[in-house]
Amino acid sequence: MFSPQRLALTLTLARALGPVLLSCGLTLLGAAALAAPQQSGYQQPSPAVRELLDAPASPRHLIAPNKQTLALLELRRFSSLAELARPTLRLAGLRFDQASGVPSQTAAIERLRLRPLLNAQAPEQSVDLSAGGPSGKSYFHSFSWAPDGQRFLLERRTEQANELWVGDAASGEIQRIAGISLNNALAQGELAWLSATELVVLARAERRGPAPRLPAVPNAPLIHETSGRASPERTHADLLQTPHDERLLDYHALSQLTRVDLRTLQSRRLGEPGLFFSVARLGDGDTLLTERITRPFSYSLTWDDFPQVVEVRRPDGRVLREIARLPLKRGVAINGVLAGPRLFYASPNKDAAIYWVEALDGGNPNNRVAHRDRLMRLDAPYTGDAQELLRLPQRFNSMRFLDDGQHALVSEDDGLRAWTRSYLLALRGGSVRTVFDHSMRERYGHPGAPLMRMSASGHRVAQTWGGGLLLQGAGASPKGDRPFLDRLSLRDTTVQRLFQSGETIYAAPLELLSNGQLLTLQESINQPPSLHVQSLTQPNSAATALTRARAPHPLMRKIRRELVSFKRGDGVEMSFWMYLPPDYKEGEARPTLVWAYPLEFNDAALAGQVSGSPNRYPNFSGISPLMLVLDGYVVLNDATMPIVGDAKSVNDEFIEQISLSARAIIDKAEDLGVTDPKRVAIGGHSYGAFMAVNLLAHTDLFKAGIARSGAYNRTLTPFGFQSERRSIWEARDTYLKLSPFLYANQIKEPLLLVHGDADDRAGTIPMQSERLYQAIAGTGGTSRYVLLPLEAHGYNARESVGHVQWEMRQWLKSHLGDPKAAR
């Protein structure tokens, strides 16, 4: 056992020497009972895994709004521990670099290339990023196009600031906008285009003085008080804790609206500074819609639930009209909303209207009403009253404006039924037509989502073509995904399929050109993604490659992947993706890792719908369990763990259903002849880790387990978790039953626990793994607890990623056996 003081000491050492490693029971070294931390620094995975981890990531394809230029963006794949160790502020659910204000773990741009889009023979233009490349402490990040595609923006984080740079699409030359430092503390990349050459950004306020200093001696106790008003809150990380935290948020989040001219590289301030988190252009003029937070702050809510002020501002930044003043989101029911105005939208159309949503049920999803929300509109010049456009039976979800200037797609969600519905709304005529109506879990019949583009006014709008709304979707089917592009007629809402990927490749639609040519990102099992163009008006014409993909990694060609479908004992359809090692020989029953993540369904038919495609090029993330395939293990990835039942009480049978699913997975793998059923481990990340530990606590199906960044004591998340809507006081037995911490004495199989010591997700604080480890140690179980310094919910540093892969490989080798030695 170890105390918090001992944990703090080992953590201090780990920051210099490596992750904290705590073992109990039979450790990797064969020691008995509770062992002292084995501190030997960061370990390296096998050479094959290390080689794959260090391979460059595939570039991102970013097409200019004018469809003339292609930007190929290569991001740094991993950070370094030194980067993660930079002083970081954690305030009100935010994490950002203390010196520059850039959000934590913002990806650096390693390389940026430009080329004409449709000329495959044209030379590429490399943008010179030496002014602050990723090799130093400064780096470029956050690429974006100007509305006309003639220029692009970059941000550059330095030791003390976050600069704005502008680039020329034709020459690739970049220049810094002097005199301003962007403030991304509340909203990264928030800006409003006023034209192709002018925009409004959120910059650091000038003359803000030195940052508040922590008092050397506390001058008052910390007091929390409640006065009988129920205010159920989810468990959040990085909340404000002291008056000093409040002063820090005031200081670092203070922004100045700033107008920037990209032609002259000059800027000027607009109005007074504020805690702005949103700025948007209204229509095609210079009027702005801004949103900012105000005091009082809260120690139990994140910043986006603080009081907010929504205002219309003149071109000079002065307030034209206050639209709404939202209160602190306190006393709101679980999954509820504020009773007044919320969710504001700036029209991209010439009318420059403002849209927002208001609750009709008091914001409480438990109230029975005919309509839950209504959509409102206020027209320019914003002097009259808003008018009601639409009443929604369920809770408003989103609004997307179409580029025809006449329609919007409005969606609502019924959380209790896990159902969603979308309407085509005529903005001026008032007519409303239902166009989509399906389960949130629907895959096979999913209609897709609007294909978005940037308008000339700088807004993101849904693209229309030939009198219809363009929809892109995954095209899920029992044989795997086949992406598609559809056209929804604005006249009669009929749907026409314009494109669908073939059965032997994977081609995802990206952009539709004005001449009817479609840009797709195409890949196959042996070919990394590359950009192609083909004609929609001549469907039988062959696609032409516009970019050449990197040669595939030799090891990737040798990995076998297969989609396997089957049924569990109660008839529910299931599936997993089976990955076989490069040296696998037919008939070998190998040690196997099952990696899964449970999902809830209210319809058994939906639970068996398949996701993924057999035609995609293997792309393993850094901490992916699929890396273990290179070490000789069979991996059953994305193994479905459906929890089927009524949304109100589906978790009451969570244990029984994951146990039934696990039994079916092992039986199917054994039937295929690839798995030794006596050498199977279960693993998962986050909610998957929660599932894995519950299986170890309540079944004897697995030989070992791996649980990363999970939550294991549901009394620490008393107001709901995942899809659970009830509080612990409404479903006490379920909360306790689903807390494997309380059944630690039943966890007899070896369990590897991994957690980032800076986990930022709601409910998955590091104490969840720490206390579970203590419980297993105290009841005589076998476990190893790895605490990764500086890491959040996912692991980002090159050192951490390599070490996690080493830990998983060693754990399986120790408890399932070496798959290569077994042959």
Q: What is the separation, in whole angstroms, between the first and last Cα of the chain?
A: 39
Query: Angle CA(623)–CA(629)–CA(634) in degrees, nearest 5?
Result: 120
**In angstroms, rounded to a whole number, what is the distance separating the alpha carbons of residues 509 and 275?**
39
Burial degree of 40 (CB within 10 A; 0-12, 13-18, 19+): exposed
Contact 386, 345 (CB under 8 A): no
**In angstroms, rounded to a whole number, what is the distance separating the alpha carbons of residues 575 and 566?**
6
Backbone angles phi, psi at 637, to 5 degrees: -95, 155
Distances (CA, A) of 172 to 115, 150, 157, 779: 9, 10, 20, 63
The verdict on whether 709 is a catalytic residue reads no
Only one residue has tokens 């319809």, namely 603
Nearest to 148 by CA among 116, 196, 198: 196
Cβ-proximal residues to 80 (8 Å cutoff; 6+ apart), any chain? 797, 798, 799
Region for residue 448 given its phi and psi (left: phi exceeds 0; alpha: psi -120 to 50; beta: otherwise): left
Query: Angle CA(497)–CA(498)–CA(500) in degrees, nearest 5?
Result: 80
Among residues 793, 803, 814, 815, which one is catalytic?
793
**In angstroms, rounded to a whole number, what is the distance separating the alpha carbons of residues 777 and 2?**
10
Among residues 181, 686, 709, 814, which one is catalytic?
686
Among residues 481, 486, 631, 759, which one is catalytic?
759
Q: Does residue 381 have a cis bond before it (omega within 30 degrees)?
A: yes
Distances (CA, A) of 603 to 55, 67, 280, 608: 42, 43, 41, 10
Count of other CB atoms within 10 angstroms of residue 339: 15
Report which residue type is found at 599: L
The verdict on whether 489 is a catalytic residue reads no
Nearest to 472 by CA among 489, 490, 449, 503: 449
Contact 487, 450 (CB under 8 A): no
Region for residue 571 given its phi and psi (left: phi exceeds 0; alpha: psi -120 to 50; beta: otherwise): left
Burial degree of 193 (CB within 10 A; 0-12, 13-18, 19+): buried
**Token pair in block for residue 678:** 């006596």
**In angstroms, rounded to a whole number, what is the distance separating the alpha carbons of residues 781 and 793?**
26
Task: Estimate the crossing angle of helix 687-698 against helix 654-671, to 10 degrees.
Answer: 80
Cβ-proximal residues to 119 (8 Å cutoff; 6+ apart), any chain? none
Maximal CA-CA distance, the chain = 80
The verdict on whether 686 is a catalytic residue reads yes
Active site residues: 686, 759, 793
